[in-house]
Amino acid sequence: MRDKLLGLLKNDFISGESLAKSLGISRTAVWKQVKSLEKLGYEIESVKNKGYRLISRPDTTIPEEISVDLSTKIIGKEIHYFEKIPSTNQFAKELTNKSVKDGTIVVSDVQTQGRGRKDRTWFSPKGGLWFSVVIYPNIQPRKSMMLTMAASLAVVDGIKTITGIVPRIKWPNDVLIKGKKVCGILTEIDAEPDRINFAIIGIGLNVNNILKSDLEKHATTLKIESGSNVYRVKLLRSILKSFDKSYENIKEGRYDDIRKSWQSYSQLIGKSVRICEGEITLEGTINDVDEDGALILKNDERTYRILSGDLEVLS
C-alpha cells in the first residue's frame, strides 16, 4: 500500500479523496498511511481543502526507495529490509530454503554480527550499506571468483557514478580508496561438483558511518573521502544496476568482459606480492588473472595458480 501511495504523491497537491479513490480505501486510512510514511522519514505537507504533497524522501534503504527507477532485469526485484539484523548473509541463506527469486536483496541499517572472510568481524553501524544478494548463477564452482569480481566492479562503478571517486580493487574481495579499505565482499556458495546451486554475495560498504578508532588507520568511509554525506539509496541503486549487468554477463558466459574490467581497477599485473593462506606464504610477481579469476603468480621456483589468500603488494 505504501509504495502505491508514494507513486501517487507528487510535488503538487493531490486531494485525500482522490488518493482514497485510487487506493480503494477510506480517507481516514489514507491519513494513517501518510503518518506511517512520515515515521519512516518522508516529509509530506498536508493542507486543508488541497490535500497532500510530497516534500522530500528519506535516505532510508526501504524497498519503496530502493525500487524507485531501479530498472534492473534480475537484481532487486524482491527486497527484504531490516532496521537491525545479526547478519544479512545469514538471513539470505535462510531465504534460499524458501526458493526466493534470483537477485533477491537483504539490506539492514545495522548488523550486530556482520562477518568478513575467515569469520572476521565486520563492524556494521548505522550510516553504512550492509546488504546481501541471493543469486542462482548456474555456473561451475571453479567460476565462483567471477561472482566476487562482478560484485567488486559493481561497487566501484556505483562509487564512481555517485561520488566521482575512483576506487581500486584489492584481490580477492576488497575495495580501497587511497590504500584504505572502504568495502569488503563475502561470497558464500552452495555447490555440487558441476554447478553452483546458489550464491550469496554479502557487501559491506562504509558510507556515512563513523569508524571505530582502531579501524581508522586501515579503513575509510565515503563521507571522509568526499567531504560530505553520500546519499545511500542512490548509491545502492547504482551498485545494483551495475551488478545486474555483470550478472547477466556471467549467466551468458561473457567472463572476459568482467576479467578485463576487473584488471583495469586492480592494477596487479606486474606487481610483486606476498600471498598468505594458512601456513603457506608465497612471494612472486603477478603475471595474469585467468579465465576463472585466479591469480597467476610466478617466482624463481615455478608458476602458481592462486584462488584464495591474503595479499600484500610489495612493489
pLDDT, one tens digit per residue, over 88-129 is 999 999 999 888 999 999 999 999 988 777 667 788 999 999
| Architecture of the CATH domain 2-56 | Orthogonal Bundle (1.10)
Q: Are 158 and 251 in contact (CB under 8 A)?
A: no
Over residues 1-47, the pLDDT tens digits come to 777 898 888 878 999 999 999 999 999 999 999 998 998 888 999 99
In angstroms, the CA 54 to CA 52 distance is 7
Over residues 144-178, the pLDDT tens digits come to 999 999 999 999 999 999 999 999 999 888 999 99
Best CA proximity match to 95, nearest among 228, 190, 204:
190
Q: What is the mean pLDDT of the chain?
A: 92
Task: Kindly report, as residue ranges, where domains of CATH 2.30.30.100 are found in the chain.
Answer: 272-313
Q: Residue 105: exposed, middle, or buried by beta-carbon count in 10 A (0-12, 13-18, 19+)?
A: buried
Amino acid, res. 22: S
Q: Are 34 and 44 in contact (CB under 8 A)?
A: yes
- The arithmetic mean of pLDDT across residues 244-259, rounded, is 93
| Architecture of the CATH domain 272-313 | Roll (2.30)
Q: Are 167 and 177 in contact (CB under 8 A)?
A: yes
Place of cell 569480481: 149
pLDDT of residue 118: 66
Q: Are 56 and 44 in contact (CB under 8 A)?
A: no
Task: Kindly report, as residue ranges, where domains of CATH 1.10.10.10 are found in the chain.
Answer: 2-56
The 3-state secondary structure of 133-154 reads EEECCCCCHHHHHHHHHHHHHH
Task: Kindly report, as residue ranges, where domains of CATH 3.30.930.10 are found in the chain.
Answer: 63-266
Cell numbers of 266, please? 586492480
Strand partners, 51: 47
DSSP state of 267: -
pTM: 0.89
Best CA proximity match to 89, nearest among 64, 70, 112:
112
Q: Are 38 and 57 in contact (CB under 8 A)?
A: no
CATH, domain range 63-266: 3.30.930.10
In angstroms, the CA 239 to CA 200 distance is 16
